[in-house]
């Protein structure tokens, strides 16, 4: 039962109605016996500073931050974890004296999800769709794990160039090459590993993919889409129709959520049974909402 002693956390997003985070974190709270409640927080662009200050004034223990606020929120924090600084985006806030400290659990969540799916990164030619906060985390995972080259495709070539410069400088090699999304046809590779980090194809716009050319997907043999609503995006359908393997974003969501929950509750110990239970619960919810 919620009381005056209950910890309160939430997720800042716009839109937020699709978020599975409340279901997941309230399940973790129940299974771990933690006195914590987690709520969705609809925060319009331009109101992030108000939201952060308001949550702190309301004694929120912490928050998750997702599209489109992962970079904007960094301006309003009293401290930022070194990994989050390197990635250039924050997705988790933890209450400290005087304000919130920012962390990024996306990279670790993505890496664990790819490992669990048996996806190898080392020496692979990779395609990264997007150049926003989630793309930064994915780029760091791919570069750190030894990708031979990462082609970053984005609608804004300038943003792709900026991300490439950051990643290449951090890892001391020219691992990332920027391309305009419209130039996807110029990409000369086969058997590529692709990671889709944009919101294209997310509910309710499920009839869209970053590239609407079925022939292009023959270049991809393995793909990860961080979108989890729907469970099978149009991007994933294109990959599978071309004979490739495609993994959705549910496991990344689960694992980054576990890491965030541990930041708010350091004493918590997760079991594999808890994580499996969360996966079943969330799949059922996604199936019911189709």
**Active site residues per annotation:** 70
Backbone torsion region of residue 59, taken as left when φ is above 0, otherwise alpha when ψ lies between -120 and 50, otherwise beta = left
Residue 239 near residue 220, CB atoms below 8 Å: yes
Residues contributing to the annotated binding site: 19-21, 66, 82, 91, 106, 130-134, 226, 228, 249, 256
DSSP 95: E
Residue 39 near residue 22, CB atoms below 8 Å: yes
CA distance 255 to 282: 13
Nearest to 119, CA basis, from 191, 189, 199: 191
CA distance 160 to 181: 9
Residues contributing to the annotated binding site for shikimate: 19-21, 66, 91, 106, 228, 256
Cα angle, residue 77 at apex, residues 25 and 267 outer, rounded to 5°: 40
Count, in order, helices (H) and strands (E) of the chain. 9, 12
Residues contributing to the annotated binding site for NADP(+): 82, 130-134, 226, 249
Residue 155 CB contacts under 8 Å (≥ 6 apart), including other chains: 180, 181, 182
Backbone torsion region of residue 46, taken as left when φ is above 0, otherwise alpha when ψ lies between -120 and 50, otherwise beta = left
What backbone phi and psi angles, to 5 degrees, belong to 212? -105, 50
């Amino acid at each position: 039962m919620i009381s005056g002693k209950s910890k309160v956390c939430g997720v800042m997003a716009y839109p937020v109605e699709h978020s599975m985070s409340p279901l997941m974190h309230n399940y973790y709270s129940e299974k771990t016996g933690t006195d914590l409640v987690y709520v969705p927080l609809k925060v319009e662009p331009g109101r992030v500073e108000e939201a952060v200050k308001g949550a702190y004034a309301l004694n929120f223990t912490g928050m998750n931050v997702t599209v489109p606020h992962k970079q904007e929120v960094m301006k309003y924090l009293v401290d930022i974890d070194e990994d989050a600084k390197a990635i250039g985006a924050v997705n988790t806030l933890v209450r400290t004296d005087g304000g919130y400290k920012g962390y990024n659990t996306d990279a670790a969540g993505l890496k664990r999800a790819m490992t669990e799916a048996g996806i190898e990164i080392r020496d692979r030619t990779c395609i990264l769709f997007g150049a926003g906060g989630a793309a930064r985390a994915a780029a760091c995972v791919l570069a750190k794990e030894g990708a031979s080259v990462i082609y970053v495709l984005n609608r804004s070539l300038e943003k792709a160039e900026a991300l490439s410069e950051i990643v290449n400088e951090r890892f001391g090699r020219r691992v990332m090459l920027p391309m305009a999304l419209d130039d996807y046809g110029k990409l000369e590779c086969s058997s590529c590993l692709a990671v889709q980090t944009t919101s294209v194809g997310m509910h309710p716009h499920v009839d869209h993919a970053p590239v609407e050319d079925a022939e292009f997907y023959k270049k991809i043999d393995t793909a990860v889409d961080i979108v989890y609503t729907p469970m099978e995006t149009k991007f994933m359908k294109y990959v599978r129709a071309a004979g490739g393997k495609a993994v959705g974003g549910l496991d990344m969501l689960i694992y980054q959520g576990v890491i965030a929950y541990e930041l708010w509750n350091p004493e918590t110990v997760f079991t594999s049974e808890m994580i499996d239970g969360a996966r079943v619960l969330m799949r059922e919810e996604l199936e019911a909402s189709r």
